Chains A and B, each alone.
Chain A
Amino acid sequence: MSDSEPTSPVKSSTRKILAVLGRYFAPQWRPSVLLLLLLLTGIGLQLINPWILSQFIDQAVAGAPLNTLLKLAGAFLLFALLRQLDTVAESYLAANIGLRATNQLRSDLARHCLNLDMAFHNARTPGEMIERIDGDVDRLNNFFARFVIDLLGNLLLLIGVLILVWRIHWQVGAALTGFSLATFILLNRLRDIGVPLYREARQANAMLYGFIEERLAGTEDIRANGGVAYVMRRLLEHARRLFRADLKANLMSVSVFGFTRALFMAGTGVALGLSAFLYLDGILTIGAVYLSYRYTEVLLQPIEVINRQIQDLQQAGASVARVQDLLARTSRIQDTGTTPLPQNGALPVQFEDLTFGYIDDDNATGAPLELVLRGLSFTLPAGSVTGLLGRTGSGKTTLSRMVFRAYDPTGGAVRLGGLDLRAAPLADVRRAVGVVTQEIQLFHASLRDNLTLFDPAVPDAQIESVIRELGLGDWLDDLPDGLNTLLQPGGGGLSAGEAQLLAFVRVFLSDPQVVVLDEASSRLDPATERLLEQAITRLLTGRTGIVIAHRLGTIERVDNVIILERGQVLEFGARAALASDSSSRFSQLLATGLEEALV
């Protein structure tokens, strides 16, 4: 589905990457400076030892006293040891910088996505989101930690070595400089060539994990309906697609970089030959020949590292592009309203010529699909309770979601307390409305966090009293750690009915001004539902209520009734009046129900 996300032009990808790098790297500048210092120290240590070796050769060949030779050997050992310590400190710092920066990015991404509109989320599996927030960012770890430092440090090393080689002899220096330049020009040319391929591979990855996560969440359905073989075949399809994409990307990258590396190796050969001839001409000592050979070897490291970092840049480029795509998405629900909603008391809910159709998230034009709500106009007075009836698919749930701005209207408006929802701050709207739906998602976290959705400000006593009020006191007392009990993943151990009661606890705690009950008690048995009745009555007192029901019994307590049919109001009126009007659809429904009761 999301294959067809807008792709950013490859040209600007390096700039984009640097922008992300800058934002997340900047806060880490202190350890980064330290890291750079360590790297420079390492470079110095790396350059000094070949020089000691060349001195050693020349001194030894010239017959210097043993004492001098042993001093050189001792210095070599000391520097070798220092370099070892330097490397360990360096790897620790680099890893820490990378992890801190990526954690920050993960958390920014998660926050950004968590605030995106439902049309976005409806098109993406949790597994795909895991891969895009965790998987893609993970690929940037090394990039954040090392890219700038390694590039900078190794460029310095490269320049340092070249200067030293120039000092040995200008001809050798010129040859090596020429080949180094040629290598870099080539690298720069080919830099972005692999990005689209890597990006395709990353997307194949995300699709695979999205697929797996969804299936793992639906094992019961698959198992009991004989779908195992089918799911396995789909898994193989995904794996095959990923393999092909990954192979392509890797082949491209290895060909490009193998080529540049080979070019550079030809250069070191030329430098070696040149210095040999210079020795024969009596211009260089044999120690200097050795030194120039060793320096070309040392030169290999910056070339390799820069090479690898640029390869990494390609992979990072694919990940960054995907991260950027996510960050560039703005919620279709714009939080630009500034007029505060009244904080207290029930609010009237008005629908004004409300028209709505879902938007296909892949569709860039944002044109709605077929309309689900068509020109609805009515007002629910403050403090009234309205029953919403209609066939499944008639638009009841959609209508209720318009009240808390899960979606914005295609046409017309929804008003709360007389204020267009879009004119109020989103946080106000969400605070004003409480919702209990048929399905409740539980977290593998403490009961407390599940009920407050991680808000630490809610006092324990308040939570406990609500739980007891809803008749879950015995259940709570049975829990080993009370509110701190870790709920099992997927609500294991809780029946669907008990989970639904927890949803009621959530809404009680949020103390809303408008309450939406969307088939909130459908999974409860009638006896439990009656127990809950008092609590619901209390919940609806002093609040405006919208009760969606398929069952007539559920709407015994409502003041008004709306019947929806294909997104339009079929009937709207006071419950009592509609019930007594024998020509109303409502009274026919009541009759069906009663007739049932009399069979």
Chain B
Amino acid sequence: MSEAQDRTHEWPTWRYMVELARYKPWLYALEVLFNPVLFYFVPLLPALVVRQLLNGLTGSAPADLNIWGLVALFSGVWLMRHAFNVVAIVTDVGLNHVGTALLRRNLLNFVLQQPGARALPHSPGEAISRFRDDAESIPNFLAWTMDPVVQVLVMIVGLATLASINSLITLAVVVPVLVTLVIVNNATKRIRRYREAAREAAGGVTDFLGETFGAVMAVQIAGTQDHVIRHFEQRNEKRRKTALADLVFSQALQTFTYNSASLGTGILLLVAARSMQGGAGTFTVGDFSLFVSYLGWLTIVTSMFGNFLILYRQTGVSIKRLMELMPGAPPNHLTEHNPIHFSGNLPTLPRPGTPQPLEQLSVRGLSYTYPGSSHGIQGVDLVLEKGDFTVITGRIGSGKTTLLRALLGLLPPDSGEIFWNGRKVEDPASFFTPPQSAYTPQVPRLFSETLKDNILMGLEGQDADFDTAIHAAVFERDLTELDHGAETIVGVRGTRLSGGQVQRTAAARMFMRRPELLVFDDLSSALDVDTERLLWERVFAQPGHTCLVVSHRRAALRRANHIIVLDGGRIAAQGTLDALLQTSPEFQRLWEGDLGTPQPAPEPHTA
């Protein structure tokens, strides 16, 4: 209920900051008190010492002055500040990393909970710029959040000190500072626009780098390295322009406020000229020195407030960009307080639960259309009984993979219902995972870890289970031929393995999980005839498995007890092999295409 409410309106930037601050309250408190107090208040002290010194020198009894005592005080204040800086850096780095780690954790977790085939709005390379730049700049701002409070305090203390010396002059010199503040505040609205453009252009650069280095071989063979680099340069150039606008505008604002201290001092000269004339004594040299120092410092404090406003806007942009990675998520998901384990043991992985044994899986009216196209599937019904081997076949683009993805919750279906043993599956995305089901995609992704880690993916299985999975995936021979066996690092996206080895590693990953339902998408496309036959034999040898398979291969079709033919996203025909060969022209085309020459259909009524 409250979640639904939250969803309708976004949080303002400060709400996120409150949530982040509450994550490690002690670290936050230490950081925002220690650092700003040190930063803002300490410079007030040496100026007082210098005033004392100058007034003492020009006063009635300069000889009694303890000059070296004052000098020691002057230097001591600075020494203390630098010593404390060492402590401050720990809280600073700590708060930054804790916040960034939490944001990244929540982001990646959300992305991984999304329908897997459409988890990101853009490419992984583009998302990296968000995981990097935006996730880092938000906690960076967190360290600033208490600054305005301390700034107000230091202003009050500073101005009160000045006013106690001469209230009229104080009033005159403070006006430019206030004017500056108003101007900066108005200008910060444009900051947001510049920042958004700059970040978007930066995303374009990482996006392109990621894709380019994912396609190095294709580019090298095509020999278009120079053209690719030219395109890269265009994106770089766009980033330069947007970054320059972003940077210069905010820096001009900062410079403006920073330098307005000098204007205040100029006014001070004009106003104080009369009171200082001839050493009249109403405004001493020491007072003058203190005014110049404090004015300088108080304007810096003001400019820091300007900075705060600028950062606030820029942080808003970053938050927006992170929330774009979490479409539909309530705002509290981004800052949700989950453990990040910077110290101590890492979390133990949950043990897989016990499956709900599959008796029957049925699907009614499943539809999904890719946004902005007419591709997809419409109104697909299907039923799988325990032990079934169902093959989905059809031409390219007929919706085979889409059907699997929509069923498994890897794409969010537009409509349709799924029933497991007659009970409706409310959230397919979290239901269709081990131990209920496991999946080998058409283009499996392996990660740059060892082969074993890729197969186990954190599963703490017995060696025997591992060997069984390897055997079922017909990988045992390959394993002996790899340089380091199961400990071989498979290379980026599995590039040290052949295409067929990648597919069978993915299959082993699936078998390792012993799911009720095995889902293969075109598993055998990179396998030779023998290996494929062996693989299906071994799948069949494992009792109780139910299989849903996309394939156009005869080896699979022949084993199917049920075949579904998709055409244009709809079921064109279904039934047994024999029946389809008799009745479905589309299936006949698919079947006969396989060997390139028409084959005699098997005799009907063989049963």
Contact = CB atoms under 8 A, between A and B. Distances in A.
A81 B262 CA distance: 8
B593 A57 contact: no
A103 B58 contact: no
B277 to A, nearest CB: 6
A365 interface: no
B224 A70 contact: no
Contact of B499 (A217, A397, A433): A397
Interface in B211-268: 211-233, 236-237, 239-240, 243-244, 247-248, 251-252, 255-256, 258-259, 262-263, 265-267
A495 B401 contact: yes
Contacts of A107: 229, 232-233, 236
B217 A118 contact: yes
Contacts of A273: 67-68, 70-71
B37 interface: no
Contacts of A389: 528
A444 B396 contact: no
B496 A358 contact: yes
Contacts of B219: 114, 453
A304 B592 CA distance: 79
A114 B397 contact: no
A270 B71 contact: yes
B156 interface: no
A217 B445 contact: yes
Interface in B433-453: 433-434, 437-439, 441-448
A231 B555 CA distance: 35
Contacts of B498: 392-393, 396-398
Given A76-B266, A129-B209, A217-B124, A230 B457 contact: yes
A542 interface: no
Which of A69, A226, A247 is the most central at the interface, judged by chain B CB atoms within 10 Å of its CB?
A226
A215 B108 contact: yes
A250 B93 contact: yes
A392 to B, nearest CB: 3
Nearest to A269: B75
B149 interface: no
A223 B596 contact: no
Nearest to B225: A114
A406 interface: yes
Interface stretch (A5-13, A348-356, A545-553): A545-553
B48 interface: no
Interface stretch (A156-164, A181-189, A525-533): A525-533
A52 to B, nearest CB: 8
B521 to A, nearest CB: 9
A551 B530 CA distance: 10
A598 B602 CA distance: 7
Contacts of A308: none
Interface in B482-518: 483, 489, 491-493, 495-501, 504, 506, 509-510, 513
A80 B263 contact: yes
Contact of B218 (A69, A122, A441): A441
A489 B207 contact: yes
Interface string A426-443: 010011011101111111
Interface stretch (A20-28, A94-102, A320-328, A415-423): A94-102
> Chain A contact residues (Cβ within 8 angstroms of B): what range?
35 or more
B340 interface: yes
Contacts of B97: 239, 242-243, 246-247
Contacts of B79: 262, 265-266
Given A80-B262, A456-B227, A227 B372 contact: no
Interface in A260-302: 261-262, 265-266, 268-270, 272-273, 276-277, 279-280, 286, 289-290, 293-294
Given A218-B447, A273-B71, A393-B498, A526 B231 contact: no
Contacts of A123: 448, 491-492
A599 interface: yes
Given A121-B213, A235-B104, A525 B395 contact: yes
A390 to B, nearest CB: 7
B118 to A, nearest CB: 7
B54 A290 contact: yes
B128 A213 contact: yes
B244 A96 contact: yes
Interface string B73-90: 011001100110110011
Given A129-B209, A224-B432, A280-B57, A103 B481 contact: no
Contacts of A237: 346
B15 interface: no
Contacts of A63: 277-279
Nearest to A216: B124
Given A76-B266, A228-B113, A272-B71, A441 B211 contact: yes
Interface string A512-537: 00000011001111111110010000
B90 A433 contact: no
A444 B211 contact: yes
A344 to B, nearest CB: 17
B222 A392 contact: no
A60 B128 contact: no
Nearest to B447: A214
A528 B285 contact: no
Interface in A77-91: 77, 79-81, 83-84, 87-88, 91
Interface in B86-125: 86, 89-90, 92-94, 97-98, 100-101, 104-105, 108-109, 111-120, 122-125
A525 B93 contact: no
B208 interface: yes
A225 to B, nearest CB: 5
B32 interface: no
A329 interface: no
B470 interface: no
Contacts of B531: 391-392, 550
A107 to B, nearest CB: 5
A224 B410 contact: yes
Given A113-B213, A258-B82, A444-B126, A225 B54 contact: no
Interface string A560-599: 0000001000000000000000000000010011001111
Nearest to A512: B221
Contacts of A84: 255-256, 259, 262
B216 A121 contact: yes
25 contacts: A60-B278, A70-B273, A72-B269, A76-B269, A77-B262, A96-B240, A107-B229, A130-B125, A216-B111, A216-B127, A218-B447, A219-B120, A222-B116, A223-B114, A224-B441, A230-B458, A262-B79, A392-B504, A393-B497, A453-B227, A456-B227, A490-B123, A492-B118, A497-B396, A523-B442
Given A111-B229, A290-B285, 17 more contacts: A95-B251, A103-B240, A106-B236, A107-B229, A123-B448, A216-B108, A219-B111, A225-B509, A276-B65, A398-B498, A430-B221, A455-B227, A492-B118, A497-B396, A526-B552, A550-B527, A592-B530
Counting from the closest, the 10 A-B pairs by CB-CB distance are A392-B500, A230-B458, A497-B396, A526-B593, A80-B262, A218-B445, A63-B278, A489-B123, A441-B215, A269-B75
